[in-house]
Amino acid sequence: MRNTFANTFFEAGQQDERLCVVVADISPAGAMDKFRQTWPARFINTGVAEQVMIGLCAGLALRGLRPFAYTIATFTLFRPFEFVRVDLCYQNLPVTIVGIGGGVTYSTLGGTHHAQEDVAVASAIPNMSVIAPCDPAETRLATQWCVKQERGPVYLRLAKAGEPDLTASAADGFMFGKLRYLKRGEDVCILGYGPILKVGAELAAKFEARGESASLVSVHTVKPLDREGIETALRRHKRVIVIEEMAPSGGLGSRVKEIAWDLDARCRVDCFSLQDAFLHNYGSHGDLLAAHGLDATTLAGKLGLA
Amino acid sequence: MGKIERQAGFDVAAARQRCLRYRRRILDISQRVTALHVAPAFSCLEMVDVVYHGLLRRDPGRGNSGFRDSFVMSKGHGCLSQYVILEELGVLLSGDLAAYCTPAGRLGAHPDYGTPGIEASTGSLGHGMGICTGMAYAERIQSRDTVIYTVLSDGEMQEGSTWESMMMAANLGLGNLVAILDLNDFQGLGRTSVTHPHFYPIVDKARAFGWETEEVNGHDAAAVYGAVTNRGGKQPFFLVGRTVKGRGVSYMEHVPIWHYRSPSKDEYQKALAELKEVAS
């Protein structure tokens, strides 16, 4: 995802000289280094200083440029939070802040580097849009949208590297603010965002193995949420399952349940998320998800698919 | 691009008359609503006046206030000083000031981006320097001859974000950035020189961070104007203006309560009676 973002951003940088990137001492991997070499004036490194990274982006945007703040998710959003809120969101500036390693991607670095409540925090700010693509191909489409958008601030939540392709045979294209069906079924609907959708795909296969057809949906735009799309999903399926690599409060699961209540939906709704806890565990990304109970085996058990 | 009118010199006598008018106007506004922050506006008034009437270059074709250069009131709580100037310049309407802090109006106690003449939303301290650093850099890489001015409070210099931005502005060599510090030595809980003595000397710290610096009496318009216009311009410029909080009204000077309070009717009359031109 990280490399796909950098490649796509570099391509966009050739078309639009207003695009700049402001990093806080993150090593410019892949095409990001090419961006730095090609347009040194448009690559700004603030050093280990995240508040000025965001403030500087605001100033650039106020003077007609289109900056992207780029570093690890905890440091693009949490550390300079009030700058994101005031400088970007209150002023409603078209600045994208890219969070690398959303959720527990940085699985060996401990809780300091886990952005496990980022989507809830970002979604709570007025004017902010939140986009979390599920695989590299969707990252490309999301990035292409971000470099052109003029509506306001965006939190682009990415993972890091090695995510499998989930969208090659997607039923729908990418449209900001709309659910994207990767696969359409009738009985079960699995909603999620980010690379955790891989677990959703495994569960969908298990449902199908026992004769229930399953929809698999990338809710890449968590905010503004496609309320109409969620309502349709709740009406057309007997069972709706939400999986998110995020805290249990303030995310997609809570929203889907709110909408289900308002709609007086008849389907069953099950939501799965990270725990509301700092776990002192280390290992692979999969190990961390398993520690939070967010792995395919645990979820299959909870859903009666084991 | 429109014709840029450069200010020719600076008429100090005219500035004194203007500032007397502005102080009266601010006191008038304070009688209609609970006008917050009269004293912080009085401390930076001469410096803000120099920015608007001496430093900002006019360019009728550009910007939302007809200036080529930009000004951001980083100490957002001092914005009454900015509002009365923008009113006189015709950027804000007198109806705007009349409806200050009321449901009918569009001006609050802190400046909002989108209001005519206001280039950034401030009020939360420690934001102006970062925004101005971004603005100044953007102007430079787009090859535009533009200077970004900002006025900060001394309390604001306690924000880490201000120092992050100062490091960055110096590292970027932003000679088109001018920061003016309203050093009135007061903050919420009293005199800064008493509560945080090692905060001083500020000018040395700014210089150590790579800025060109100067220190003057912040009520001496000629000194402020002279220091800024005579700067080298290779590095960002940091001007420390020593000021008196509540300057111009004896019972407000150096008295912390006037950070927030509006004068009563009697206090208002007393203030008007004693207001005169501030010489320095």
| Chain A residue at shortest CA distance from B166 | A52
CA distance A83 to A58: 9
Q: What are the beta bridge partners of residue A190? A: A216, A241
Q: Give the pLDDT confidence of A191-218 residue by residue, as tens digits.
A: 999 999 999 999 999 999 999 999 999 9
Closest CA to A156 of A111, A196, A122, A197: A122
Residue boundaries of the structural domains of chain B = 12-274
Q: What is the pTM of this model?
A: 0.96
B37 against A115, higher pLDDT? A115
Q: Which chain B residues have a beta carbon less than 8 Å from that of A17?
A: none
Which residue, among A19, A43, A51, A90, would best test binding to B if mutated, counting the most B CBs under 10 Å from its CB?
A: A51
Q: Which chain A residues have a beta carbon less than 8 Å from that of B135?
A: 59-60, 62-63
Q: Quick check: B8 pLDDT over 70?
A: no
Which residue, among B62, B70, B127, B171, would best test binding to A if mutated, counting the most A CBs under 10 Å from its CB?
A: B127
Tell me the C-alpha to C-alpha distance, in Å, between residue A184 and each of A150, A172, A215, B145.
Answer: 32, 10, 4, 57
Specify the range with the lowest mean pLDDT, choosing from A23-32, B69-78, B153-162. A23-32
For B266, the enclosing helix (H) or strand (E) is helix B265-274
Strands (E), chain B: 70-73, 148-153, 177-183, 186-187, 190-191, 212-217, 237-242
Q: What is the CATH number of domain B12-274?
A: 3.40.50.970
> Residue type at A59?
G
Name the burial class of residue A84, with classes exposed (0-12), middle (13-18) and buried (19+) by CB atoms within 10 angstroms of its CB. buried
Helices A2-15 and A31-38: angle between axes, nearest 10 degrees: 30
Q: Quick check: A32 pLDDT over 90?
A: yes
pLDDT of B277 reads: 81
pLDDT of B63 reads: 61
pLDDT of B64 reads: 61
pLDDT of B5 reads: 55
pLDDT of B60 reads: 73
pLDDT of B35 reads: 63
Q: Quick check: B7 pLDDT over 80?
A: no
Q: Which chain A residues have a beta carbon less than 8 Å from that of B168?
A: 46-47, 49, 52, 56
Query: Roughly how many angstroms between the first and final C-alpha of chain B, as a whole number?
Result: 38
Say whether A44 and B164 touch across the interface (CB within 8 A): no
Gap from A186 CA to chain B (nearest CA, Å): 49
Instruction: Provide the edge-to-edge strand list for the sheet that holds A96-100.
Output: A43-45, A19-23, A66-72, A96-100, A154-157, A129-131, A221-223
pLDDT of B276 reads: 85
Q: Which chain A residues have a beta carbon less than 8 Å from that of B132?
A: 59
Q: Give the pLDDT confidence of B212-223 residue by residue, as tens digits.
A: 999 999 999 999
Contact predicate B214/B226, CB 8 Å: no
What the block records as the tokens of A261 is 């209540």
Closest CA to B133 of B116, B150, B114: B150
Question: Domains along chain A?
Answer: 2-157 (3.40.50.970), 180-302 (3.40.50.920)
pLDDT of B32 reads: 85
What does the pLDDT average to over A149-175?
96
Q: Quick check: A138 pLDDT over 60?
A: yes
- Name every residue in B having a CB less than 8 A away from some CB of A: 113, 119-121, 124, 126-127, 129-139, 141-142, 160-161, 164-165, 167-168, 172
Q: Quick check: A49 pLDDT over 50?
A: yes
Say whether B141 and A42 touch across the interface (CB within 8 A): yes
pLDDT of B170 reads: 98
Q: Give the pLDDT confidence of A75-86 residue by residue, as tens digits.
A: 999 999 999 999
Query: Per-residue confidence at B2, pLDDT binned at 50, 70, 90?
Result: very low
Task: Please state, rounded to an integer, the average pLDDT across all residues of chain A.
Answer: 97
Query: To the nearest whole percent, how much of chain B has pLDDT over 70?
Result: 95
pLDDT of A269 reads: 98
Q: Quick check: B258 pLDDT over 90?
A: no
| Pairing between β-strand A154-157 and β-strand A180-183 as defined by DSSP bridges | unpaired
Say whether B135 and A63 touch across the interface (CB within 8 A): yes
Q: Quick check: B1 pLDDT over 50?
A: no
pLDDT of B136 reads: 98
Q: Quick check: B6 pLDDT over 90?
A: no
Query: To the nearest whole percent, how much of chain A has pLDDT over 70?
Result: 100
Gap from B219 CA to chain A (nearest CA, Å): 29
